C-alpha cells in the first residue's frame, strides 16, 4: 500500500464534489495500470491523501506527484528556494501573512511573510489589514513564496512573495479588465454556472491559479460585480472576490 499526500486542497461547500473530481481524474489515469485506488481523503489542512495498491503503485505515485504537486517534509526545505503555496488565516494576525507551503510533518509549519517585508515588496507602508484589503490578498489565494529563513528547531519559516507572484498582482492592477476570483469550485461548475446565467460570453478568459482556484477575467464592457451577482446563487457558499483595478488603485492612493 502506497500513500501519497498531494499539494492541492479541497475545502468549502463543494468539498465532496471536489474530491470526486480528483477521484475521477485519478481513476482515469490508472485505468490501464495494475493498481487500485483504495481511498481518497484529506489531512487536517485539507491536502488530498490518495492510497493506492498494486504492482504499479510506485509509478502511479510519481505520476500523481507530477500532475498535482507534492506536500513536503520540513527537513527537505531549502532556503532561498521558491515554493508554491496558498494564503491562510489572512488578517488573523497583525505581524504578517501566513502561507501554507505544504509541510505535513508538523502540526503548524506555515511560512510567515513578515509585515516589514510586505511593506517593502508592495512599497506600501501600512498595516497588514490595509495591505491585504488593498491588494486583495485573501484565504486560498495561490501564491509562490521564496523562503528567506528556516528555523526548524523553533518551527519557524519566514518568506517573501516571489517575483512572479508580485508581477501577477502588478499585471492585474495595470489591466483594464475586472476579475472575479472563485475559490473552492471546479472548472465544470464555473462553466456551467456562467452558461446557465447567460454570462459565458462576458468572460474573456478563465485563468486557473490552482487546482480549484480560478480568476474570471471579464470582457472590458463587463462588471465583475454583475458576474458575482449572477453566478453567486449557483455556487452558494463558494468564496468569491472582486479584483477591480480602478478601485484598488484608488485605495492604494487614498490617505491612511
Report the CATH number that the domain containing residue 90 is assigned in CATH: 2.40.50.140
Residues in the chain with pLDDT values less than 70: 255-256
What was the pLDDT predicted at 107?
72
DSSP string, 37-98: EEEEEE-TT-EEEEEEESTTHHHHHHHHHHHH-B-B-GGG--TT-EEEEEEESTTS-SSEEE
The answer to whether residue 114 sits within a structural domain is yes
Q: Counting beta carbons within 10 angstroms of the beta carbon of residue 52, is it exposed (0 to 12), middle (13 to 18) or buried (19 or more)?
A: buried
CA 256 – CA 245 distance, rounded (Å) = 19
What was the pLDDT predicted at 256?
52
CA 128 – CA 98 distance, rounded (Å) = 11
Which of 100, 126, 97, 101 is closest to 113 using CA atoms? 97
Same domain, 80 and 110: yes
What Å distances lie between residue 83 and 69, 141, 201, 218, CA to CA? 11, 14, 35, 29
The answer to whether residue 224 sits within a structural domain is yes
The answer to whether residue 32 sits within a structural domain is yes
Q: Which residue has the cell 501577477?
A: 168
Query: From its phi and psi, is residue 175 left (phi > 0), alpha (psi between -120 and 50) or beta?
Result: beta
User: Which residue range forms the structural domain that includes residue 228?
Assistant: 175-253
CA 159 – CA 112 distance, rounded (Å) = 6
Looking at the DSSP bridge assignments, the partners of residue 157 are: 111, 150
Same domain, 87 and 111: yes
The answer to whether residue 168 sits within a structural domain is no
Contact (CB, 8 A) for 151 and 157 = yes
CA 179 – CA 224 distance, rounded (Å) = 6
Contact (CB, 8 A) for 109 and 99 = no
Contact (CB, 8 A) for 227 and 244 = no
Same domain, 153 and 216: no
Same domain, 19 and 34: yes
What are the pLDDT digits (tens) for 25-43? 999 999 999 999 999 999 9
Query: From its phi and psi, is residue 170 left (phi > 0), alpha (psi between -120 and 50) or beta?
Result: alpha
Question: In Å, how far from its chain's centre is CA 166?
Answer: 15
Q: Where is the domain boundary, 68, 97, 122?
A: 68
Amino acid at each position: 500500500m502506497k500513500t501519497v499526500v498531494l499539494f492541492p486542497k479541497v475545502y468549502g461547500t463543494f468539498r465532496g464534489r471536489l474530491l470526486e473530481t480528483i477521484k475521477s481524474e485519478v481513476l482515469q489515469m490508472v485505468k490501464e495500470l495494475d493498481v487500485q485506488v483504495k481511498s481518497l481523503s484529506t489531512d487536517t489542512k485539507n491536502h488530498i491523501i490518495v492510497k493506492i495498491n498494486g504492482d504499479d503503485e510506485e509509478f502511479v505515485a510519481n505520476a500523481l506527484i507530477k500532475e498535482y504537486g507534492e506536500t513536503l517534509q520540513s527537513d527537505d526545505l531549502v532556503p532561498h528556494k521558491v515554493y508554491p503555496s496558498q494564503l491562510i488565516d489572512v488578517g488573523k494576525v497583525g505581524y504578517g501573512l501566513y502561507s501554507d507551503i505544504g509541510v505535513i510533518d508538523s502540526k503548524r509549519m506555515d511560512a510567515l511573510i513578515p509585515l516589514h517585508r510586505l511593506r517593502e515588496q508592495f512599497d506600501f507602508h501600512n498595516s497588514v489589514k490595509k495591505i491585504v484589503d488593498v491588494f486583495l490578498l485573501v484565504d486560498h489565494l495561490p501564491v509562490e513564496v521564496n523562503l528567506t529563513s528556516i528555523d526548524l528547531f523553533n518551527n519557524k519559516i519566514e518568506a517573501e512573495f516571489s517575483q512572479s507572484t508580485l508581477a501577477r498582482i502588478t499585471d492585474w492592477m495595470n489591466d483594464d479588465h475586472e476579475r472575479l476570483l472563485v475559490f473552492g469550485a471546479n472548472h465544470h461548475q464555473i462553466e456551467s454556472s456562467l452558461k446557465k446565467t447567460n454570462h459565458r460570453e462576458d468572460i474573456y478568459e478563465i485563468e486557473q491559479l490552482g487546482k480549484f482556484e480560478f480568476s474570471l477575467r471579464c470582457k472590458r464592457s463587463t462588471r465583475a460585480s454583475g458576474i458575482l451577482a449572477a453566478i453567486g446563487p449557483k455556487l452558494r457558499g463558494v468564496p468569491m472576490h472582486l479584483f477591480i483595478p480602478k478601485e484598488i488603485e484608488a485605495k492604494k492612493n487614498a490617505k491612511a
